[in-house]
Structure 1
Amino acid sequence: MTIKKYLFIPFAILGFLLLHSCLSTTTPTYSTDGHVISFSLKSDSVPALAKAVFTIDQTNGTIYNVDSLPYGTNVKQAIPVVTAYSTAGMYFNDSVYTGSDTVDFSRPVILKNYAQDGVTIRQYVVTVNVHKVDPDSITWEERTYPSYSFQTIDQKAVYFNEEVMLYVNDGSQMHLFTSTDGKSWTTQTLSGLPATVNLQQMVVYNNMLCLVENGQMMLESTDGLTWQTVAVNSSYPLVTLVSAIGTELIGIQQYNGTYYLCYSNDGTNWLTGEALTGSMANFPISDFAATSYQPTVGSSKVLVVGGINASGQIVNSIFSYMLGSSWADFSSEAALTTSSFPAIRNASLTGYNGKVLLLGGKLASNQLKDDTLLWSKSDGLFWTKADSLTMIPKPLHYVYRYKQSVVVDNNYRIWIIGGKDANDNFLKEVWVGRLNSLGFGLPPM
């Protein structure tokens, strides 16, 4: 603070008023109302301060800005602009307020205002809120994986009915664990979900969880606990589900060695679509990453990345689809090469904040992809590596992985669950991250 302390001023003013009253033939009336009626900040070097809107709580004697100033805003040399109903002297932390000196608001400051009578005091605690974290960064934390002693043959997590559901196959039966925070897990009782089904193809569709059991049978559940077998009407046997978009469920059929995309508007009746030959030959039939997401602009889309095609090759294909249109193969674009986007399998995709996040995976060389996170804001056409603001910090000892589950919950938290390490060991880990700007006003992560 650049202002000096003058604690004697209000008493001098009071003495002057008393002397004036003795000499005057009339008795003057001086206001006892010292309420502050407006408060703002200004700084020539920090224009953002002038945009801050302050609330004055007369009951509790506090002044504060509800909307925090941007991360990193310098509030150590701010000039307060204060208006009171009446004043005979105003002080910040017992230093006189002149209207032009700076005050350090990096911590709460005491504002005292002496009313016009020089005796009545109104006191406020002034707090200037500044975001403590960079809104463009992601805060990552390791959470707790459910405890069990049986072996893990396969695992898959989905976000359904406002909780994360983790399915684990021990080779002879399925197990289910649920959590809303990743800190504690509840063991649930499952029925109707056989250990022979491929968990990786589980899709959330029309308020249900869906799986292909065999060529003519589907498994469906409205609560994730109880599963029902449903016969399907399909020209060719179903092989796997791909994704869902709106009211449409997308799968893959196979007949006489040829694979086809297929579509259903109810999960029961299926229409055969494109044959996965010719220009669609690199569309994967297994080990792909797929997600349905809402871009910043335009309609919802499905993105399918990598995997193994019908010829058994690991591909670097990127297929995009939206309702009423044909599939677009971005891997044919000049922007995508094997060096910028290599052939990959068992990665994970999810939409997040209008972008697409690709995580993990195993390369054709059998090595794990060493770029922890890749982002695309062009619906999969261009990809950039995560910078220091969004990547998982190395001190957290996060290991590269593939076949992990990645989901996003209603509180904008990204969950990374399980997966396999470079030695093909299943990882019993849960990581949770959230973009700080999306967490403002929400419960702590």
Structure 2
Amino acid sequence: MKTQKIYFFLCIAALFLSGISCNSTDDEEITYTISESVRVTSFSLAANDSVLANLDTVFFTIDLNGGQIFNADSLPVGTDVSALIANISFDNVAQAKIIMDRGDATKNDTIDYLASPTDSIDFTSKVSLVVTAQNGVTEKWYSLKVNVHQMDPDSLYWNAPFGVKPLPCGEGVAVTAQKAVYFKGKAYSFIESNSTCTVYATDDPYAGEWTSQPLSAFTPNVQSAQATDDALYMLDQSGVLYRSEDGANWTATGQSFYSLVGSWKSRVLGVVLDNGVYKHDCYPRPEGFTPYPVPENFPITGSSQMVTFVSEYDLNTPQSIMIGGRTANNSLTGATWGYDGEAWAQLAGSIKPCEGALLFPYFTFTTNQYWITTQYTSWIVIGGRTADGASNSVYVSVNNGNTWTAAPESLAMPSYINPRAFASVLVIGSDFSASQKASPLWRFMPVRQVAGMATTRANDDYKIPYIYIFGGENNSGTVYNQIWRGAIGRLRYPPIP
């Protein structure tokens, strides 16, 4: 009997608690949050091999603050973007419309993206994406751009034939010798004309504002001019070495050379002829240094300019390289030689034997099948005079001269630039903004102004590394009174604003 009473009271308690629970639920007020988000969480193009392989792997930047969605690495020249499908993800929004503005109200079009996500979009028009939040009030406009290169971005472009500039001596002047070097932020151009040598200097060869000074302290061998970290050097016609810190005032060093081949830090490097033996020498000589014989295959004249680089593994020991030239037995060589401050060494890489080749450091690029672009610090060799005459060949090395390969067609020299040897080549950065305002005579082939290149530098800080080729000789030794300017296409694109 007691058991039945206990069971009865437990049932009454359960019913009482159940009633309390139900009343509590009925009394509570249930609230829902209405989203104000207008965020685009992802954007890509749908695969379409008939347009471009791996189109769906192209990366797009979503700038939520600026309201821009774009591909920083533009698609190849000629890609058809007039009918592409986009895969777009959002937070839980109420509406997303794509507006295509073709500049004519009768041809404009609008897509309700949430209702028709597979409708194609014409990205040749001005495309906007308007997103409305769940609250029906908050709205965000995005600019959608699918950037396409208007030229091969990895091609080396030169100012058009009508835009070639004369050397700083002026148009129509017959030049018998010239050499240009870069020293302490200035380009120095040494020009011999009418048996007179003049040194010209400027901060920017593009601007064409040169100062000039006759060089009358000695009779120079113009082609021997070299620049070290702290001075300019040049031989006179008898081989005496002269030094200057400003290009105008020169003093004899008391040392003589057969030829100068380059520089390393504040040291000028050359060859001396000692009792019929060609030897390595330098100025100033380090303590204990004694000239020593050059190897049989070392170029005593005619090598390219010497270029210095610093390895990321040894920042304290710059390396200098040069290529080509003539050996002591008057044979042409295509070998690459390096100098580390203590000794010379022949590197494994070589090109077709020549003299007077143009060697300079630059950048080259490769783009893989997924449209990821990789930049390489590279060495480029242009021209020179082979046994067959002046050449317009181009070689590239991405391993500091240890191997050289014939450059792709994108880096080939144009037919309107005559083959040449013994030209000077300088790579000088020019402000992006200044480049855009320059004289039309110096403008390159048209380049689309792409809003999103993969750089975050401001326009005012971005410098375009221009290649300047000064002078050079044809097969008969006549000096071209010309300055050409070039750059790889993608290096001329404006950075992200």
TM above 0.5, yes or no, is yes
- Matched residues, percent identical? 20
Q: Is residue 2:336 matched to residue 1:328?
A: no
> Which of 298, 314, 329 is residue 331 of structure 2 equivalent to?
314
2:243, 2:252 within 8 Å by CA — same for their partners in 1? yes
1:138, 1:389 within 8 Å by CA — same for their partners in 2? yes
**What is the CA-CA distance between 1:156 and the residue it aligns to?**
0.8
Q: 1:39 to 1:440 in 2, by over 3 A?
A: same
Corresponding residue for residue 238 of structure 1: 257
Corresponding residue for residue 362 of structure 2: 352
After superposition, give the CA deviation of every residue in 1:67-115 in whole Å (9 maximum; x if it has no partner). Answer: 3345457755241414257424534432111363143334430222345
> Which of 70, 92, 103 is residue 65 of structure 1 equivalent to?
70
| In structure 1, C-alpha distance between the alignment counterparts of 2:485 and 2:202, rounded to whole Å | 12
2:198, 2:214 within 8 Å by CA — same for their partners in 1? no
Corresponding residue for residue 403 of structure 1: 422
2:47 is paired with a residue whose SS is: coil
| In structure 2, C-alpha distance between the alignment counterparts of 1:150 and 1:50, rounded to whole Å | 53
Corresponding residue for residue 307 of structure 2: 292
Q: Is residue 2:193 matched to residue 1:189?
A: no
| In structure 1, C-alpha distance between the alignment counterparts of 2:473 and 2:271, rounded to whole Å | 26
Corresponding residue for residue 84 of structure 2: 77
Q: Is residue 2:387 matched to residue 1:368?
A: no
2:466, 2:487 within 8 Å by CA — same for their partners in 1? yes
2:356, 2:422 within 8 Å by CA — same for their partners in 1? yes
After superposition, give the CA deviation of every residue in 1:265-303 in whole Å (9 maximum; x if it has no partner). Answer: x47989333213xxx123232222232233877664333
2:71, 2:146 within 8 Å by CA — same for their partners in 1? no
Corresponding residue for residue 304 of structure 1: 322
| In structure 1, C-alpha distance between the alignment counterparts of 2:33 and 2:336, rounded to whole Å | 78
2:320, 2:340 within 8 Å by CA — same for their partners in 1? no
Greater relative contact order structure (CA < 8 Å, 6+ sep): 2
**What is the CA-CA distance between 1:158 and the residue it aligns to?**
1.6
| In structure 1, C-alpha distance between the alignment counterparts of 2:121 and 2:473, rounded to whole Å | 55
| In structure 1, C-alpha distance between the alignment counterparts of 2:219 and 2:265, rounded to whole Å | 29
1:169, 1:195 within 8 Å by CA — same for their partners in 2? no
| In structure 1, C-alpha distance between the alignment counterparts of 2:480 and 2:56, rounded to whole Å | 46
1:37, 1:85 within 8 Å by CA — same for their partners in 2? no
Matches within 5 A, 1:10-409: 33=36, 35-45=38-48, 46=54, 49=57, 51-57=59-65, 62-65=67-70, 67-69=72-74, 71=76, 76-83=83-90, 86-88=93-95, 90-93=97-100, 94-98=110-114, 100-101=117-118, 102-116=120-134, 122-142=140-160, 143-145=164-166, 146=168, 147-179=170-202, 182-190=205-213, 192=215, 194=217, 196-213=219-236, 218-224=241-247, 226-232=248-254, 237-264=256-283, 266=284, 271-276=289-294, 280-294=295-309, 300-311=318-329, 313-323=330-340, 326-329=343-346, 341-342=352-353, 344-353=354-363, 354-364=377-387, 367-369=389-391, 371-394=392-415, 397-409=416-428
| In structure 2, C-alpha distance between the alignment counterparts of 1:427 and 1:249, rounded to whole Å | 27
| In structure 1, C-alpha distance between the alignment counterparts of 2:384 and 2:98, rounded to whole Å | 61
Letter in 1 for 2:43: S
Corresponding residue for residue 11 of structure 1: none
2:179, 2:424 within 8 Å by CA — same for their partners in 1? yes
After superposition, give the CA deviation of every residue in 1:389-413 in whole Å (9 maximum; x if it has no partner). Answer: 101233xx11111221112223422
2:475 is paired with a residue whose SS is: coil
**What is the CA-CA distance between 1:154 and the residue it aligns to?**
0.6
**What is the CA-CA distance between 1:181 and the residue it aligns to?**
5.5
* RMSD, aligned α-carbons: 3.7
Letter in 2 for 1:321: G
2:43 is paired with a residue whose SS is: strand
Q: 1:39 to 1:128 in 2, by over 3 A?
A: farther
Corresponding residue for residue 21 of structure 2: none
After superposition, give the CA deviation of every residue in 1:23-63 in whole Å (9 maximum; x if it has no partner). Answer: xxxxx9996957445452242344555632210236xxx32
1:216, 1:231 within 8 Å by CA — same for their partners in 2? no
2:174 is paired with a residue whose SS is: coil
| In structure 1, C-alpha distance between the alignment counterparts of 2:378 and 2:304, rounded to whole Å | 15
After superposition, give the CA deviation of every residue in 1:402-428 in whole Å (9 maximum; x if it has no partner). Answer: 221112223422221211223432212
1:52, 1:69 within 8 Å by CA — same for their partners in 2? no
| In structure 1, C-alpha distance between the alignment counterparts of 2:282 and 2:199, rounded to whole Å | 29
Letter in 2 for 1:361: G
| In structure 2, C-alpha distance between the alignment counterparts of 1:34 and 1:377, rounded to whole Å | 48
| In structure 2, C-alpha distance between the alignment counterparts of 1:323 and 1:198, rounded to whole Å | 27
Corresponding residue for residue 24 of structure 1: none
2:383, 2:420 within 8 Å by CA — same for their partners in 1? yes
The TM-score with structure 1 as length reference comes to 0.74
1:309, 1:315 within 8 Å by CA — same for their partners in 2? yes
Letter in 2 for 1:201: S
| In structure 1, C-alpha distance between the alignment counterparts of 2:199 and 2:266, rounded to whole Å | 27
